[in-house]
Amino acid sequence: MFECVDTGYERPGHPISGVVRKGDQIFTVQIPTDVETGKLVNGGIEEQVRHVFQKLAHAMQAAGGSLADVMLVQVYLADPADWAPMHAIWTGTFKEPFPARATVVVKQLMLEGMRIEIVVNAHLG
């Protein structure tokens, strides 16, 4: 059985967990919503990417780790033009050795105006 990691943020009203842990493995999904209001953050792709990576850093810290523990990031983008700004922010967020990454462009994400969603696998230790 896995455990839910308490990030200190209000849990969404959906039957999902934002961060789960089993042993040294951490799994999380992050979207660009404000943790207090649940609404999409204002701005374009740069603001959404920064927000998602900030939430990821917070989630990793709450789980007892850091961004250095992230091994795989699956990035879902709503527009192929968003790859370059996402990648620029990525290179300023992660350090060598960089996590493995898959980037997929999808027709649409769940929230109107949402341009990025990430799925992350990490290993502590």
What integer pLDDT is reported at residue 83 of this predicted model? 98
Average pLDDT over residues 110-122: 96
pLDDT given for residue 12 in this prediction: 64
| Confidence (pLDDT) at 9 | 81
Q: Delimit the domains of the chain by residue range.
A: 18-123
Task: Assign 3-state DSSP to the chain and report helix, strand, coil percentages, each to 5.
Answer: 30, 30, 45
Q: Is the pLDDT of residue 18 over 90?
A: no
Predicted pLDDT of residue 38: 86
pTM: 0.94
Query: In the chain, pLDDT over 70 holds for what percent of residues?
Result: 97
Provide mean pLDDT across the span 25-51.
94
Query: Are 47 and 41 spatial neighbours (Cβ–Cβ below 8 Å)?
Result: yes
Q: Using pLDDT thresholds of 50, 70 and 90, give the confidence band for residue 33.
A: very high
Decide if domain 18-123 falls under CATH 3.30.1330.40.
yes
CA-closest candidate to residue 21, choices 64, 67, 57, 73: 64
* Structure confidence by residue, pLDDT tens digits, 39-97: 999 899 999 999 999 999 999 999 999 999 999 999 999 999 999 999 999 999 999 99
Buried/exposed code over 20-30 (b: 16+ C-beta within 10 A; e: otherwise)? bbeeeebbbbb
pLDDT at res. 8:
85
